[in-house]
Amino acid sequence: MTPAASPTIIIDEKTRTMTAGARIWNQNNTIDMPAALRGSKIPVNYTEITSGEIDRVWILTAEEAKQAPPKPVVPPTILPAR
């Protein structure tokens, strides 16, 4: 991730929009404001809402960045009653 002009961030070289209530957790598990972030290509995991906006970002430690990323969670589909 690379910080950009709020409310955008750059992930995998694509400009992405963050939700109004998005949060970024740092390596100490405290919240960082996007404007306070410095650097580029910060290793992160993130979640997005159905519209594609980023709602949660976790800045990874060096050890976490070495691990395989978590598999996406697909919400269960609720079928209508027959």
pTM value is: 0.79
Tell me which residue of 21, 6, 28, 29 sits closest to 56, measured CA to CA: 21
**Cα dist from 78 to 36, 49, 81, whole Å:** 41, 18, 9
58-77 pLDDT, tens digit per residue, is 999 999 999 987 777 776 67
Task: For residues 46 and 24, give the distance between their C-alpha atoms in angstroms, rounded to a whole number.
Answer: 9
Give residue 40's pLDDT: 85
Give residue 9's pLDDT: 92
Mean pLDDT of 12-38: 91
